[in-house]
Protein backbone atom coordinates (compact mmCIF):
# COMPACT_ATOMS: atom_id res chain seq x y z
CA UNK A 1 0.00 0.00 0.00
CA UNK A 2 2.95 2.37 0.66
CA UNK A 3 4.13 2.29 -2.97
CA UNK A 4 0.60 2.80 -4.26
CA UNK A 5 0.09 5.79 -1.97
CA UNK A 6 3.42 7.32 -3.05
CA UNK A 7 2.57 6.93 -6.74
CA UNK A 8 -0.86 8.42 -6.09
CA UNK A 9 0.76 11.31 -4.21
CA UNK A 10 3.09 12.17 -7.10
CA UNK A 11 0.25 11.89 -9.63
CA UNK A 12 -2.16 13.96 -7.56
CA UNK A 13 0.57 16.53 -6.93
CA UNK A 14 1.23 16.95 -10.65
CA UNK A 15 -2.48 17.32 -11.41
CA UNK A 16 -2.86 19.68 -8.47
CA UNK A 17 -0.04 21.91 -9.65
CA UNK A 18 -1.31 22.01 -13.23
CA UNK A 19 -5.05 22.39 -12.61
CA UNK A 20 -4.82 24.54 -9.48
CA UNK A 21 -6.81 22.09 -7.39
CA UNK A 22 -6.10 20.94 -3.88
CA UNK A 23 -5.98 17.31 -4.98
CA UNK A 24 -9.03 15.93 -3.19
CA UNK A 25 -10.94 15.94 -6.47
CA UNK A 26 -8.63 13.18 -7.65
CA UNK A 27 -7.43 11.49 -4.48
CA UNK A 28 -10.79 10.96 -2.73
CA UNK A 29 -12.33 8.80 -5.51
CA UNK A 30 -9.10 6.82 -5.97
CA UNK A 31 -8.66 6.27 -2.22
CA UNK A 32 -12.22 4.92 -2.17
CA UNK A 33 -11.24 2.39 -4.84
CA UNK A 34 -8.18 1.46 -2.76
CA UNK A 35 -10.45 0.41 0.09
CA UNK A 36 -10.47 3.45 2.35
CA UNK A 37 -13.78 4.73 3.70
CA UNK A 38 -15.03 8.13 2.59
CA UNK A 39 -14.19 9.85 5.90
CA UNK A 40 -10.71 8.28 6.06
CA UNK A 41 -10.13 9.24 2.40
CA UNK A 42 -11.08 12.84 3.20
CA UNK A 43 -8.54 12.97 6.04
CA UNK A 44 -5.71 11.53 3.92
CA UNK A 45 -6.60 13.92 1.11
CA UNK A 46 -6.43 16.91 3.44
CA UNK A 47 -2.93 16.00 4.64
CA UNK A 48 -1.73 15.92 1.03
CA UNK A 49 -3.43 19.24 0.32
CA UNK A 50 -1.76 21.02 3.24
CA UNK A 51 1.72 20.08 2.01
CA UNK A 52 0.94 20.67 -1.66
CA UNK A 53 -0.82 24.00 -1.23
CA UNK A 54 2.01 25.45 0.86
CA UNK A 55 4.66 24.75 -1.78
CA UNK A 56 2.32 25.75 -4.64
CA UNK A 57 1.33 28.99 -2.92
CA UNK A 58 4.99 29.89 -2.44
CA UNK A 59 5.82 29.19 -6.11
CA UNK A 60 2.86 31.23 -7.42
CA UNK A 61 3.72 34.15 -5.15
CA UNK A 62 7.33 34.01 -6.32
CA UNK A 63 6.04 34.15 -9.93
CA UNK A 64 3.83 37.16 -9.04
CA UNK A 65 0.57 35.50 -10.06
CA UNK A 66 -1.41 37.50 -7.47
CA UNK A 67 -1.20 40.14 -4.72
CA UNK A 68 -1.54 38.58 -1.26
CA UNK A 69 -2.81 41.89 0.15
CA UNK A 70 -6.17 41.29 -1.58
CA UNK A 71 -6.58 37.54 -1.97
CA UNK A 72 -5.78 36.77 1.66
CA UNK A 73 -9.41 37.65 2.41
CA UNK A 74 -10.53 34.53 0.53
CA UNK A 75 -8.39 32.58 2.98
CA UNK A 76 -9.80 34.31 6.06
CA UNK A 77 -13.32 33.30 5.07
CA UNK A 78 -12.13 29.80 4.20
CA UNK A 79 -10.84 29.19 7.74
CA UNK A 80 -14.28 29.61 9.30
CA UNK A 81 -16.10 27.73 6.58
CA UNK A 82 -13.70 24.77 6.67
CA UNK A 83 -14.06 24.36 10.44
CA UNK A 84 -17.85 24.18 10.13
CA UNK A 85 -17.55 21.79 7.19
CA UNK A 86 -15.13 19.56 9.10
CA UNK A 87 -17.60 19.29 11.97
CA UNK A 88 -20.37 18.32 9.54
CA UNK A 89 -18.27 15.33 8.37
CA UNK A 90 -18.81 13.82 11.83
CA UNK A 91 -22.57 14.39 11.65
CA UNK A 92 -23.50 13.53 8.05
CA UNK A 93 -23.88 10.03 6.62
CA UNK A 94 -21.15 8.89 4.19
CA UNK A 95 -23.63 8.55 1.31
CA UNK A 96 -24.66 12.18 1.68
CA UNK A 97 -21.01 13.26 1.53
CA UNK A 98 -20.40 11.20 -1.60
CA UNK A 99 -23.39 12.68 -3.45
CA UNK A 100 -22.40 16.17 -2.37
CA UNK A 101 -18.95 15.55 -3.82
CA UNK A 102 -20.47 14.44 -7.13
CA UNK A 103 -22.76 17.50 -7.20
CA UNK A 104 -19.81 19.85 -6.71
CA UNK A 105 -17.92 18.25 -9.61
CA UNK A 106 -21.01 18.56 -11.85
CA UNK A 107 -21.45 22.25 -10.98
CA UNK A 108 -17.81 23.00 -11.68
CA UNK A 109 -17.88 21.18 -15.00
CA UNK A 110 -20.94 23.12 -16.16
CA UNK A 111 -19.50 26.50 -15.17
CA UNK A 112 -16.11 25.86 -16.78
CA UNK A 113 -17.58 24.49 -20.00
CA UNK A 114 -19.42 27.75 -20.71
CA UNK A 115 -16.84 30.20 -19.37
CA UNK A 116 -14.15 32.04 -21.36
CA UNK A 117 -10.46 31.63 -20.48
CA UNK A 118 -10.06 35.33 -21.35
CA UNK A 119 -12.05 37.66 -19.02
CA UNK A 120 -15.05 39.36 -20.62
CA UNK A 121 -15.49 41.75 -17.68
CA UNK A 122 -13.29 43.81 -15.40
CA UNK A 123 -11.82 41.94 -12.44
CA UNK A 124 -13.85 42.55 -9.27
CA UNK A 125 -11.81 43.73 -6.27
CA UNK A 126 -13.98 43.56 -3.14
CA UNK A 127 -12.42 42.29 0.08
CA UNK A 128 -15.69 41.72 2.05
CA UNK A 129 -17.04 39.77 -0.95
CA UNK A 130 -13.81 37.77 -1.09
CA UNK A 131 -14.32 36.83 2.57
CA UNK A 132 -17.94 35.79 1.93
CA UNK A 133 -16.97 33.65 -1.06
CA UNK A 134 -14.14 32.10 0.93
CA UNK A 135 -16.54 31.15 3.74
CA UNK A 136 -18.95 29.40 1.39
CA UNK A 137 -16.24 27.54 -0.49
CA UNK A 138 -14.50 26.62 2.77
CA UNK A 139 -17.70 25.03 4.06
CA UNK A 140 -17.75 22.57 1.17
CA UNK A 141 -14.00 22.10 1.42
CA UNK A 142 -14.23 20.92 5.02
CA UNK A 143 -17.18 18.63 4.32
CA UNK A 144 -15.85 16.97 1.18
CA UNK A 145 -12.08 16.85 1.64
CA UNK A 146 -11.46 19.00 -1.44
CA UNK A 147 -9.25 22.05 -1.29
CA UNK A 148 -11.98 24.38 -2.46
CA UNK A 149 -10.42 25.48 -5.73
CA UNK A 150 -12.77 23.08 -7.52
CA UNK A 151 -15.43 25.68 -6.66
CA UNK A 152 -13.20 28.75 -6.35
CA UNK A 153 -11.81 28.65 -9.88
CA UNK A 154 -15.15 28.68 -11.77
CA UNK A 155 -16.58 31.29 -9.40
CA UNK A 156 -13.64 33.65 -9.98
CA UNK A 157 -13.68 33.11 -13.74
CA UNK A 158 -17.45 33.21 -14.27
CA UNK A 159 -18.53 35.90 -11.80
CA UNK A 160 -15.45 37.87 -10.71
CA UNK A 161 -13.65 38.51 -14.00
CA UNK A 162 -10.43 36.65 -13.11
CA UNK A 163 -8.24 35.22 -15.91
CA UNK A 164 -8.32 31.42 -15.83
CA UNK A 165 -4.67 30.90 -14.88
CA UNK A 166 -4.81 33.57 -12.17
CA UNK A 167 -8.00 31.97 -10.77
CA UNK A 168 -6.15 28.66 -10.69
CA UNK A 169 -3.27 30.23 -8.73
CA UNK A 170 -5.66 31.96 -6.29
CA UNK A 171 -7.41 28.64 -5.79
CA UNK A 172 -4.12 27.13 -4.69
CA UNK A 173 -3.55 29.96 -2.22
CA UNK A 174 -7.06 29.45 -0.81
CA UNK A 175 -6.34 25.77 -0.25
CA UNK A 176 -3.61 26.69 2.26
CA UNK A 177 -6.20 28.18 4.61
CA UNK A 178 -9.10 25.78 4.01
CA UNK A 179 -7.05 22.57 4.12
CA UNK A 180 -5.13 23.44 7.30
CA UNK A 181 -8.34 24.44 9.04
CA UNK A 182 -10.26 21.35 7.93
CA UNK A 183 -7.34 19.00 8.72
CA UNK A 184 -6.99 20.40 12.24
CA UNK A 185 -10.69 19.78 12.80
CA UNK A 186 -10.55 16.17 11.53
CA UNK A 187 -7.40 15.44 13.56
CA UNK A 188 -9.23 16.64 16.65
CA UNK A 189 -12.13 14.34 15.76
CA UNK A 190 -9.77 11.39 15.19
CA UNK A 191 -10.73 10.88 11.54
CA UNK A 192 -7.26 10.99 9.94
CA UNK A 193 -4.99 8.09 8.94
CA UNK A 194 -1.74 9.95 9.66
CA UNK A 195 0.67 7.38 8.22
CA UNK A 196 -1.11 7.14 4.86
CA UNK A 197 -1.57 10.91 4.77
CA UNK A 198 2.14 11.58 5.33
CA UNK A 199 3.13 9.22 2.51
CA UNK A 200 0.85 11.03 0.09
CA UNK A 201 1.79 14.50 1.36
CA UNK A 202 5.56 14.08 0.96
CA UNK A 203 5.41 12.33 -2.41
CA UNK A 204 3.00 14.94 -3.82
CA UNK A 205 5.60 17.72 -3.51
CA UNK A 206 7.50 16.33 -6.51
CA UNK A 207 4.36 16.34 -8.61
CA UNK A 208 3.34 19.86 -7.55
CA UNK A 209 6.52 21.43 -8.92
CA UNK A 210 6.16 19.55 -12.22
CA UNK A 211 2.50 20.54 -12.60
CA UNK A 212 3.13 24.26 -12.05
CA UNK A 213 6.02 24.15 -14.52
CA UNK A 214 3.63 22.77 -17.15
CA UNK A 215 0.92 25.33 -16.27
CA UNK A 216 3.13 28.24 -17.33
CA UNK A 217 3.89 26.62 -20.68
CA UNK A 218 0.39 25.99 -22.04
CA UNK A 219 -1.93 28.48 -23.79
CA UNK A 220 -5.04 29.61 -21.88
CA UNK A 221 -7.47 28.22 -24.49
CA UNK A 222 -5.79 24.83 -24.46
CA UNK A 223 -5.64 24.93 -20.67
CA UNK A 224 -9.42 25.35 -20.44
CA UNK A 225 -10.03 22.43 -22.79
CA UNK A 226 -7.80 20.13 -20.75
CA UNK A 227 -9.38 21.38 -17.51
CA UNK A 228 -12.92 20.57 -18.69
CA UNK A 229 -11.81 17.11 -19.86
CA UNK A 230 -10.21 16.52 -16.47
CA UNK A 231 -13.46 17.31 -14.64
CA UNK A 232 -15.44 15.05 -16.98
CA UNK A 233 -13.16 12.13 -16.07
CA UNK A 234 -13.44 12.82 -12.33
CA UNK A 235 -17.22 13.10 -12.61
CA UNK A 236 -17.45 9.78 -14.46
CA UNK A 237 -15.21 7.96 -11.96
CA UNK A 238 -17.13 9.26 -8.95
CA UNK A 239 -20.55 8.64 -10.50
CA UNK A 240 -19.64 5.05 -11.37
CA UNK A 241 -18.41 4.42 -7.84
CA UNK A 242 -21.68 5.71 -6.33
CA UNK A 243 -23.98 3.94 -8.76
CA UNK A 244 -22.07 0.64 -8.68
CA UNK A 245 -21.95 0.82 -4.89
pLDDT 10s digits, 50-104: 998 899 888 988 888 888 888 899 989 988 888 888 788 778 777 787 787 778 7
- Terminal C-alpha separation, the chain: 22
- To the nearest 10°, report the CA torsion of 215, 216, 222, 226: 0
- pLDDT given for residue 147 in this prediction: 66
pTM of the model: 0.76
Q: Output DSSP code: residue 219.
A: -
**Cβ-contact 188, 83 below 8 angstroms:** no
Helical segments of the chain, H only: 2-19, 24-33, 38-62, 68-91, 94-113, 127-144, 149-159, 164-189, 194-215, 220-244
Q: 233: domain range? A: 2-244
Cβ neighbors of 70 (< 8 A, separation 6 or more) are 125, 127, 130
Cβ neighbors of 151 (< 8 A, separation 6 or more) are 104, 107, 108, 137, 140, 141
pLDDT 10s digits, 163-197: 888 888 898 888 888 788 888 888 988 888 999 99
Let me know how long the chain is.
Answer: 245
Closest CA to 182 of 133, 244, 140, 124: 140
Overall number of domains in the chain: 1
- pLDDT > 70: what percent of the chain? 96
Distance CA 66, CA 130 (A): 14
Amino acid sequence: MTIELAILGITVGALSGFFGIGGGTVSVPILLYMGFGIKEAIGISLMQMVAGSLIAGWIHHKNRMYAISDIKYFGYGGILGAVVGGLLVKLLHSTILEWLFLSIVAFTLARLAFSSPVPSREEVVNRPLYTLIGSGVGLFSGMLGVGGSILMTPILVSFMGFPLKKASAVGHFFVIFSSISALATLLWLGLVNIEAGMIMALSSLIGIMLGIWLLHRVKATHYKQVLVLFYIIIFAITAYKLIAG
